[in-house]
Amino acid sequence: MHVAGYLSQWWQWIRLSGIPVRRDRSVSDATHHHLAMLFGLAHAGLRTLHPYGVADVAESSLLVLDSSTTLTPCRPEDIDDEKAYAYMEYLRKANSRGYTHRRITPDCLARLDDRTPVIAGWQNGDCASAGASVMLDRVQLIVLLAALLGPDRTMAAARRVWTSHELSTMSPFIQRAALPMATRSLPGCNRQLISLIRTDAGSTERDEAQAPQTVTLSRFSVRSFLTIALAVIAVAVVFTQLRPDEVIDAVRKAEPVWALVAMLCGLIAWAGSAVTLGAFVDRDKRDWFSLTMTQVAAGFTAVSMPAGVGPAFVNLQYLRRRGMGSAEATAVTGATWSIQGLATIVITVVFGLFTGRSTLSGAIPTNTLIIVIGAIVLAFCLAMAIPPVRRLLTHRYLPLIASYAHRFMEVIARPDRLAVAGAGALVLNVATALGFWVCLLAFGSRTNPVETMFVFLLANTLASAVPTPGGLGAVEAALSLSFTGVGVPAGVALSATLLYRVVFYWLRIPLGAAAMKWLSAKHML
């Protein structure tokens, strides 16, 4: 029992984050602790096994129980509404005195000889427990009973024991990481059940935007994996793709004043991007400094994600941390991305009309575009012709898309917000394009600013569609070739491109990493 309990405690300590866990280092510690737990529960007025005493000899220890009380496992088919209520009330009384179980599994549901329901197996529990441990006890018992009895009947019994506020406070802890393996392996325990209970427990909140976000319990999660993956990819890209000799040569030859001006354009671009996102955030939740820091942090994600994906990921996480529901945060992120993309297209077309060049008409591969669109439509039609796929799309994904579309229309329905967001997107695109023009000036190439911004936006947009981190390789090639084609000397075009990438890509990696660390420390990301 001690070996199994100690290994369980050790694994919980490794797997869970922010949850204190006991680690009994000897058999004597385990049995003495178990004895104290049973005496404490009895003193709190809860019926349990009657301990007789403890005997210690050398490294051995024995806990002796009085044979006048015995426990019988409660079969799942014997659990009804009243038994569920009795188990919850038993746990509530124990928690109210600071006692937590830490590992409520189906084997812990027991009954005395007179059929009184009790919770057994307190050897891994603790007294004077923190609030998070109390929440985990409630979650483990409620999900266990819901898997055996059904979510509706279980939540009805839970509302008889705990208040609406207590259930709402518990909802962020309702996740698979909080459940023991024995509970997760039950046939009725699945992600849909957990999601349903979490929604039901948090339904007392006034709206989804005020619902608390899920508490991070597991050390091994998608978020931790992505963080490690981003760091590994960032290091790999920096050491394999960055050519220090070329970058240093380009920076050394550039005029320092114009290089600083290019950096200023980068700061203005961050501000414009923050304005676009902040336009859709309520005034009472709008913090311009943290909004700007999210755009800085997006520079770190650009090293491991295609262009546009990194900022969208950071914006979504930030909005959820600021209290927005998932649907609304997704809608705001989509609106921000759409407005920035639309602004890029409009500015490119307008600048193209002013330049009078035919570059715009020849830059879009019409035949290829038609073939790609036709292939996508054909694949969708073939998928809809298969009944299981059609049912999956119509019953599961189409309602979800319709919900997001409804939220998206609500987000963009206010002209004042659209105007502010459009102005921010305009600043973002113009500042970025002017940054490249300034990079050309740094090497003595004085070109027409409108024509330069047009060629830059067109080449950079098309190159960013290449699914490499930050358009790496494609952006450098597209900008160098495009400006060489409009009369800029090849050496100057390459040097200006390298300087631009230093200011708007490589320099943003360490700054973005620092911003992401700051946002994580402030629980904003």
pLDDT in tens, 111-152: 998 889 999 999 888 888 888 889 999 999 999 999 999 999
Q: Which residue has the higher pLDDT, 470 or 59?
A: 59
Over range 214-235, report the average pLDDT: 56
Q: Are 311 and 297 in contact (CB under 8 A)?
A: no
With tokens 């866990």, the residue in question is 21
How far, in Å, CA of 304 to CA of 310, rounded?
Answer: 8
Same domain, 100 and 172: yes
Same domain, 6 and 142: yes
Residue 376: its pLDDT value, please?
77
Helix (H) or strand (E) holding 62, with range, is strand 60-65
Confidence of residue 513 (pLDDT cuts 50, 70, 90): confident
Residue 243: its pLDDT value, please?
57
- Is residue 302 situated within a structural domain? yes
- Is residue 407 situated within a structural domain? no
Rg (CA), the chain: 30
Same domain, 255 and 176: no
Convert 296-333 to b/e letters by CB count within 10 Å (16 or more is b).
bbbbbbbbbbbbbbbbbbbbbbbbbbbbbbebbbbbbb
Same domain, 186 and 299: no
Residue 372 has pLDDT above 90, yes or no: no
Same domain, 265 and 196: no
Per-residue pLDDT reduced to its tens digit, 51-73: 999 999 988 899 999 988 889 99
Confidence of residue 302 (pLDDT cuts 50, 70, 90): low
Q: Which residue has the higher pLDDT, 401 or 509?
A: 509
- Is residue 387 situated within a structural domain? no
Number of domains in the chain: 2
Q: What is the pTM of this model?
A: 0.54
- Dihedral angle, C-alpha 295, 296, 302, 305, nearest 10 °: -50
Residue 204 has pLDDT above 60, yes or no: no
Residue 20: its pLDDT value, please?
66
Close Cβ partners of 371 (under 8 Å, ≥ 6 residues apart): none
Picking from 37, 56, 10, the residue whose alpha carbon sits closest to that of residue 129 is 37
How far, in Å, CA of 141 to CA of 384, rounded?
Answer: 42
Q: Which of 23-32, 111-120, 500-509 shows the highest mean pLDDT?
A: 111-120
What percentage of the chain carries pLDDT values higher than 70? Answer: 77
How far, in Å, CA of 487 to CA of 140, rounded?
Answer: 70
3 state DSSP class of 210: helix
Query: Counting Cβ atoms within 10 Å, is residue 188 exposed (0-12), middle (13-18) or buried (19+)?
Result: middle
Residue 154: its pLDDT value, please?
95
Picking from 508, 525, 5, the residue whose alpha carbon sits closest to that of residue 234 is 508
Q: Please list the residues that pair with 119 across neighbouring strands.
A: 109
Per-residue pLDDT reduced to its tens digit, 314-337: 888 888 887 777 777 888 888 888
Backbone φ and ψ of 214, nearest 5°? -65, 135
Q: Which two tokens stand for residue 110?
A: 């027991």
Residue 284: its pLDDT value, please?
78
Q: Please list the residues that pair with 62 across neighbouring strands.
A: 55
Pairing of strands 60-65, 51-57: antiparallel
Residue 362 has pLDDT above 50, yes or no: no
Same domain, 196 and 255: no
- Is residue 403 situated within a structural domain? no
Residue 268 has pLDDT above 80, yes or no: yes
3 state DSSP class of 281: coil
Q: Which residue has the higher pLDDT, 279 or 472?
A: 279
Q: Are 61 and 30 in contact (CB under 8 A)?
A: yes
Picking from 138, 141, 148, 153, the residue whose alpha carbon sits closest to that of residue 105 is 141
Q: Which residue has the higher pLDDT, 61 or 308?
A: 61
Cβ atoms within 10 A of the Cβ of 282, count? 10
- Is residue 214 situated within a structural domain? yes
Per-residue pLDDT reduced to its tens digit, 339-352: 888 888 888 888 77
Q: Which two tokens stand for residue 119?
A: 């919770």
Over range 287-311, report the average pLDDT: 77
Close Cβ partners of 511 (under 8 Å, ≥ 6 residues apart): 296, 299, 300
Q: Are 503 and 299 in contact (CB under 8 A)?
A: no
Query: Counting Cβ atoms within 10 Å, is residue 112 exposed (0-12), middle (13-18) or buried (19+)?
Result: middle
How far, in Å, CA of 159 to CA of 156, rounded?
Answer: 5
The DSSP code for 215 is P
Confidence of residue 206 (pLDDT cuts 50, 70, 90): very low
- Is residue 395 situated within a structural domain? no
Residue 363 has pLDDT above 60, yes or no: no
Helices (H), 465-507: 474-485, 490-501
Q: Which residue has the higher pLDDT, 196 or 207?
A: 196
Angle between helices 288-301 and 309-321 (to 10 degrees): 140
Residue 512 has pLDDT above 70, yes or no: yes
Instruction: Compute CA distances 477 → 203, 231, 241, 301, 504, whole Å.
Output: 53, 26, 14, 22, 16
Residue 212 has pLDDT above 60, yes or no: no
Residue 223 has pLDDT above 70, yes or no: no
How far, in Å, CA of 304 to CA of 232, rounded?
Answer: 9
Q: Which two tokens stand for residue 133?
A: 């441990």
Per-residue pLDDT reduced to its tens digit, 86-111: 999 999 999 999 999 988 999 999 99
- Is residue 405 situated within a structural domain? no
The amino acid at 451:
E
Over range 9-19, report the average pLDDT: 66
How far, in Å, CA of 101 to CA of 135, rounded?
Answer: 11
Name the residue range of residue 135's domain: 1-220
The amino acid at 480:
S
How far, in Å, CA of 452 to CA of 447, rounded?
Answer: 7
Same domain, 304 and 193: no
Over range 357-380, report the average pLDDT: 61
Over range 431-446, report the average pLDDT: 88
Residue 106: its pLDDT value, please?
93
- Is residue 232 situated within a structural domain? no
Residue 478: its pLDDT value, please?
80
Confidence of residue 14 (pLDDT cuts 50, 70, 90): low
Same domain, 189 and 248: no
With tokens 């996740």, the residue in question is 175
For residue 246, the Cα-to-chain-centroid distance in whole angstroms is 37
Instruction: Report the chain's mean pLDDT, rounded to a whole number.
Output: 80
For residue 107, the Cα-to-chain-centroid distance in whole angstroms is 34
Q: What angle do CA 287, 292, 297 make, to 5 degrees?
A: 125
Same domain, 14 and 115: yes
Residue 209: its pLDDT value, please?
39
Same domain, 351 and 448: yes
Largest CA distance in the chain: 98
In this structure, of 18-22, 246-250, 306-310, the range with the lowest mean pLDDT score is 246-250
Same domain, 293 and 354: yes
Same domain, 189 and 81: yes
How far, in Å, CA of 135 to CA of 217, rounded?
Answer: 12
